[in-house]
Amino acid sequence: MAEPFVKIRNLSKSYWRGGRQVPVLAGIDIDVAEGEFLALMGPSGSGKSTLLNLMAGIDNADTGTIEIGGVEITSLTEAELTAWRSDNVGFIFQFYNLVPVLTALENVELPLVLQGLSRKERKERAAFFLGLVNLSERTDHYPGQLSGGEQQRVAIARAMVTDPLLLVADEPTGDLDRRSAEEVLELMEKLNREFKKVIVMVTHDPKSAERAHVIRHLEKGYLNAAP
């Protein structure tokens, strides 16, 4: 069997709260294969976001290793990790997290500022991905002028624009109505199917999770056995 794309071994993480150490993840092992669409489920507070953040390199593990696309990100320095993120991970958040003072197109363009492209190349790329999420007509709209579903699609275009290996999504439909949620999920399926993106999506909606190839359940910091 081929090497998994994401390989996590013995991952532990705890937070300090009120002078007490609160374990959140305890000895997690998980693999995500190339081309896989994984859904992470579990009750609120079970550590889903924490696991996702560790995978995406925006939080530091206490112990254990995370290897993504052959890079052991748990041993990178802060600066290396920042650079790695910008090239390899696309983020989709529950609350979209667009920059409110930039237009839809500019939001999609923003990550490309770090890629050393010309202004023209940036604009073209951003416009292409905005088209991919069916928002070509909204180019000059600011986030405040867009619906939640539209904002989330802009966020997806922003996550895709640098052509990352991995897309992480933390409850991407958690704030959306049913119809917008369907659109977002279809889009994510398409990115996985046609663009071969590895997707890790946190959700506690079973209907959303059905879109994934694999569903894993987190329970109080432990992963339940794979189905």
Ligand X SMILES: Nc1ncnc2c1ncn2[C@@H]1O[C@H](COP(=O)(O)OP(=O)(O)O)[C@@H](O)[C@H]1O
- Interface residues with other proteins (CB under 8 A) are 49-50, 53, 56, 58-59, 79, 82-83, 85-87, 91, 93-95, 97, 99-102, 106, 109-111, 113-114, 158
> Contacts with ligand X: how many residues (CB under 6 A)?
11
**What are the phi and psi torsion angles at 87 (to 5°)?**
-90, -25
User: Nearest approach, Cβ of 93 to other proteins (angstroms)?
Assistant: 7
* Residues between 4 and 63 with contacts to ligand X, criterion CB under 6 A: 15, 17, 24, 42, 44-50
User: Nearest approach, Cβ of 193 to other proteins (angstroms)?
Assistant: 25
Residue 129 or 215: the one with the smaller Cβ distance to other proteins is: 129
When CB distances are held under 5 to 8 angstroms depending on the partner's kind, the choice from other proteins, Mg ion, ligand X, none that residue 106 binds is: other proteins
User: Nearest approach, Cβ of 102 to other proteins (angstroms)?
Assistant: 7
Q: How far apart are CA 19 and CA 197, in angstroms?
A: 41
Residue 24 or 92: the one with the smaller Cβ distance to ligand X is: 24
Stretch that binds Mg ion, among 31-39, 49-57, 105-113, 117-125 (CB under 5 A): 49-57
Residue 5 or 91: the one with the smaller Cβ distance to other proteins is: 91
User: Nearest approach, Cβ of 216 to ligand X (angstroms)?
Assistant: 12
Burial tier of 170 (Cβ tally within 10 Å: 0-12, 13-18, 19+): buried
Nearest-CA neighbor of 158 among 205, 115, 204, 219? 115
User: Nearest approach, Cβ of 159 to ligand X (angstroms)?
Assistant: 19
When CB distances are held under 5 to 8 angstroms depending on the partner's kind, the choice from other proteins, Mg ion, ligand X, none that residue 12 binds is: none
Residue 8 or 52: the one with the smaller Cβ distance to Mg ion is: 52
Binding interface with ligand X (CB under 6 A):
15, 17, 24, 42, 44-50
Binding interface with Mg ion (CB under 5 A):
49
